[in-house]
Structure 1
Amino acid sequence: MTAPAIRHLRHLALLGLLAGALAVGAPLQAEPSDHDLARQALEQGQVLPLRTVLDKVERDYQGQVLKIEFEHEDGRFIYEIRLLQHDGHLAKLEVDATSGEVLKVKRKRR
């Protein structure tokens, strides 16, 4: 094979590798993170501030917050809050982020 033909094959191989890398790279439009979704909803006045919800939950359910998730389910914004309660139970609460109403509580012994 001649030198120009080898260069041409190398260029084709590099273009193939580049095309493959682009095809398996990051998706064109990534889903917004929970953090971004929560910030946008708060800025638009669609949800209560987390601190407001936590004050109520900590007062009513007497415990230490271990984990918080923000979700958008069935057209509703939800704070999912996990607490370690003073009696040793773990409580998982689903709270309507718009009203602060506790929708569901699951408790289990640690």
Structure 2
Amino acid sequence: MMLLRLLRVILLSACIGIAPVQADSRQDHEIARRALEAGEILSLRQVLERIEREHHGQVLEVELEQEDQRWIYEVKMLRRDGGINKLIIDARDGRVLEIKGRHGRQLGRDN
């Protein structure tokens, strides 16, 4: 399984006016930008708008990875009860593939 870390964003810092954490390297940033421009992935804004409608909590961290030729957003959310869920999202269409977390639903990954 090839795992390519592309983007790490801490949204809390953006809320208080600090620049978000930068991607691990300039090359990774360029790969992510090209994937977005080619229509291979949805923008982070589109994905967050979709999940925030269905999942209540505060987004803490987002990563974009390429896993087995598939783009995946991993979103960590702080739930209202203080627990943390990790949502695995298909970056092409914004579909939630899996939710991991204490007391969270476990959904199997689709192919």
Where on the TM-score scale, by shorter chain, does this alignment land: which range?
Answer: 0.5 to 0.7
2:46 aligned to 25, 42, 52, which one?
Answer: 52
1:105 aligned to 94, 99, 102, which one?
Answer: 99
Q: Which runs of 4+ in 1 moved over 6 A?
A: none
**Number of aligned positions between the proteins:** 79
**For residues 73-84 of structure 1, what are the structure 2 equivalents within 5 Å?**
73-84=67-78
Structure 1, unaligned stretches of length 5 or more?
Answer: 1-29
**Is 1:94 equivalent to 2:84 in the alignment?**
no
Partners of 1:36 and 1:62 in 2: CA distance: 32
Percent identical among aligned pairs is: 47
Partners of 2:27 and 2:67 in 1: CA distance: 14
Deviations 1:3-35 (A, max 9, x none): xxxxxxxxxxxxxxxxxxxxxxxxxxx9932x3
Structure-2 change in CA distance of 1:66 and 1:52 (3 Å): same
Q: How much has 1:85 moved relative to structure 2?
A: 1.2
Structure 2, unaligned stretches of length 5 or more?
Answer: 1-24, 104-111
Partners of 1:36 and 1:66 in 2: CA distance: 23
The 3-state SS of whatever aligns with 1:92 is strand
| 1:64 aligned residue | 58
The code of the aligned residue for 2:41 comes to V
Q: Alignment RMSD, CA only?
A: 1.8
Of structures 1 and 2, the one scoring higher in RCO (CA 8 A, sep 6+) is 2
Q: How much has 1:37 moved relative to structure 2?
A: 2.4
The two structures have a TM-score, normalised by structure 1, of: 0.65
2:79 aligned to 81, 85, 94, which one?
Answer: 85
Partners of 2:49 and 2:42 in 1: CA distance: 12
Query: Which has the greater radius of gyration?
Result: 1
